[in-house]
Amino acid sequence: MTYSFLYFHRVRMLLPVLVCGLLLFSYAEEDKAALDNELVVEWNHLAYSIAYQHDQFYSFIGVRALTMMHLAMHDCLNAITPQFQAYAMIAKAPQADPSAAMLSAARTILIDAYPQRQDTINAVYDDWINRLAHNKARRSGIALGERAATVLIEMRHGDGHEKQGNYTPMTKPGDYQYTPGFDYVWIPDFSVAKPFALRSHEQFRSPEPPALTSKAYTESYLEVMAYGQKQSKVRSADQTHYGYWWAEFGEHGWNRIARITAKGEKLPRHETARLFALINMNLYDLYLASFDSKYHYDTWRPYTAIRNGDTDGNPDTPGDPSWEPEMVTPPWPEYPSAHAAVGAGGAEIVASVFSTNKVEFEMISTTAPAGELHRGYKNLDHAANDCADSRIMNGYHFRFATEEGKRQGRQVAAYILNNFLQPLKTTAKKVDKK
């Protein structure tokens, strides 16, 4: 009995120490997980910033680098602790430090894509890597990261992402023609550009656009003529605001949305790495799918259509030779809307990762007017719809093109979600569409 009492007394005296130790261990693990989440988010922002400074995403170099970097980081984590399907590198490295692996993979990919920025990349890398203990796990992690990056670099070698083609505009009603400020079109050579996920560029090619004499075309024509006109009298202040706010490229908005939601929801590191890999793989392949459709159908923009409305054979589409859109029209064909596709696809990806479309975010847009930089959403479908609708409000697109863009975007995103980076040993999460 005396022994039992003394034992109990000693254990009782030690309980505060044991509890504190467990709490400190728990906090250390939470801090480590937070560090890894922050690591993925911050390196996304670094890669995004370098790409934007390089050419403002007017080429495939930036979104390609982001996709490769995040796929390599994803593969590193799942070689150490498998949770999701790997993309390119099949490996087992349970003793490797995950942070060291992700840092090494990210640095290797970015220096390969932007060798002229290696001083900046190395400086950020050194700052991060020096936070980790100098041990075998760190060395193993660095080697694993270099391997993951090398596999992807070799896989994407000669993928045609910088190839440019030739283009000559046609002149009959409905054909795309150059718009003010441009005597060229942005046209990668889709015969050689390699997708990350799709089997082919035409896998999700859009159906034919409505005929110029159809009801769908007439309704879309009259809508954009009224709402997309410069200083429109029928467009509301809010419609003007989201027209400008969503004008920035999808690479800006959806990477930023991913950063905000991953940090705000404290998304674990595996899920964070996967989120960014899916977002950017989806961006890259959606552009390939959308522009395949654009150049296949080669249709005119509202600027050209409305100024030549009297020549389209449709008595219900009155022409206005002086009509101007709210914003300067981009230099590529109209149908379908790539921006609407990217918005809907991005919403589909984020909703799948969080298992709901009720994801809140507020952020600043690079294209919003001064004093009106902020906008927020509580529902991803609402955000995707405003993103698509913005192209009508700034005079870029017809309604039938934005609706088809949304359909195509969700179709491509669903294909990627169902075939790549899926959870291991568990069923894929279902999206709440309420």
The list of the chain residues with pLDDT below 50 reads 1-31, 33-34, 427-434
What is the per-residue pLDDT for 287? 95
Residue 164: what pLDDT?
A: 84
| Residue 427: CB atoms within 10 Å | 7
Percentage of the chain modeled with pLDDT above 70? 90
Burial (CB < 10 A; 0-12, 13-18, 19+), residue 34, is: middle
pLDDT of residue 156: 97
pLDDT confidence of residue 192: 80
Per-residue confidence (pLDDT) for residue 28, from 0 to 100: 38
Residues 280 and 67: beta-carbon distance below 8 Å: yes
Sign of the C-alpha dihedral computed for residues 141, 145, 147 and 148 taken in this order: positive
Instruction: Round to whole Å and give the CA distance between 214 and 212.
Output: 6
Terminal Cα distance for the chain, rounded: 63
Token pair in block for residue 120: 């900046």
What does DSSP assign to residue 117?
G
pLDDT at 426: 55
Backbone φ and ψ of 299, nearest 5°: -100, 155
CATH 1.10.606.20 location in the chain: 201-419
Task: Give the pLDDT confidence of 279-321 residue by residue, as tens digits.
Answer: 999 999 999 999 999 999 999 999 999 999 999 999 999 999 9
Q: Which residue in 411, 291, 282 sits closest to 342, CA to CA? A: 282
What is the reported pTM? 0.90
Cα separation, 77 vs 91, in Å, equals 10
Q: What is the CATH number of domain 201-419?
A: 1.10.606.20
Cβ neighbourhood burial of 433 (10 Å; 0-12, 13-18, 19+)? exposed
Residue 1's pLDDT is what? 34
Whole-number pLDDT of residue 217: 98
Rg, Å, the chain Cα set: 25
- pLDDT at residue 35 in the model: 52
- Give the orientation angle of helix 136-156 with respect to helix 98-113, to 10 degrees: 40
User: Which residue type occupies 9?
Assistant: H
